[in-house]
């Protein structure tokens, strides 16, 4: 039987607990030769907090999901399916569907800590902000566009009575 990667659906926020519970079940039931690896795909994200403070954080790529490499048979299926926090396998018509090698590689590429870091922010289009640094410091504006990949935000600022788009870094604005 082939070792394949399967996706488990879990209660959101319980991914680490499911991994720990599953590791204990594998050992207790002697399934080391059937279930080989458990992965919770994560990636490093730079979050921009109020005032432009940058904070590195590890975030789950797919909250509520865990990857398991296993040989699927009745015994291993039952052990995994009945692990506390697991709500089921991802698949069609109740049957677990294994990931293809390409799907698995694409998911794990995102978890590579050499991969470009993502930036997240709480800024949203339509939100009022104050510019806190640069030549337009103390001006108020409205967010017109957010570009997390670039760490930039386009703000419509009223200069001499006209709305003018200004591109700023996340650290140059704060929410009002």
Digit-coded pLDDT (tens) for 96-146: 999 998 888 888 887 765 545 556 677 889 999 988 888 888 899 999 998
Q: Does domain 127-175 have CATH number 2.30.30.30?
A: yes
- Note the CATH architecture for domain 4-110: 2-Layer Sandwich (3.30)
Q: In the chain, where are the structural domains located? A: 4-110, 127-175
Please spell the DSSP secondary structure of 8-41, one letter per residue. Answer: EEE-TT-HHHHHHHHHHHHHHHT-TTTEEEEE--
pTM of the model: 0.63
Q: Which two tokens stand for residue 157?
A: 């600022």
How far is residue 16's CA from residue 147's CA, in Å, rounded to a whole number? Answer: 31
| Dist. CA 56–CA 147, nearest whole Å | 18
Torsion region of 51: left, alpha or beta (phi above 0 gives left; psi -120 to 50 gives alpha): left
Packed helices 15-29 and 74-81: angle between N→C axes, nearest 10 degrees: 140
């Amino acid at each position: 039987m082939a070792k394949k990667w399967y996706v488990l659906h879990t209660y959101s926020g319980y991914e680490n607990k499911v991994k720990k519970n599953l590791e204990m079940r594998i050992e207790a039931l002697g399934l080391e030769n059937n279930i080989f690896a458990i992965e919770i795909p994560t990636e490093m994200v730079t979050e921009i907090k109020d005032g432009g403070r940058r904070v590195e954080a590890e975030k789950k790529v797919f909250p509520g999901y865990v990857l398991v490499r296993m040989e699927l048979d009745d015994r291993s299926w039952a052990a995994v399916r009945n692990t506390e926090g697991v709500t089921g396998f991802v698949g069609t018509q109740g049957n677990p569907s294994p990931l293809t090698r390409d799907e698995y590689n694409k998911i794990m590429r995102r978890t590579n800590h050499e991969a470009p870091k993502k930036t997240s922010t709480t800024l949203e289009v339509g939100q009022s902000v104050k510019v806190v640094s640069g030549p337009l410091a103390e001006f108020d504006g409205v967010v017109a566009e957010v570009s997390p990949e670039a760490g930039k935000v386009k703000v419509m600022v009223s200069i001499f009575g006209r709305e003018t788009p200004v591109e700023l870094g996340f650290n140059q604005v704060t929410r009002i």
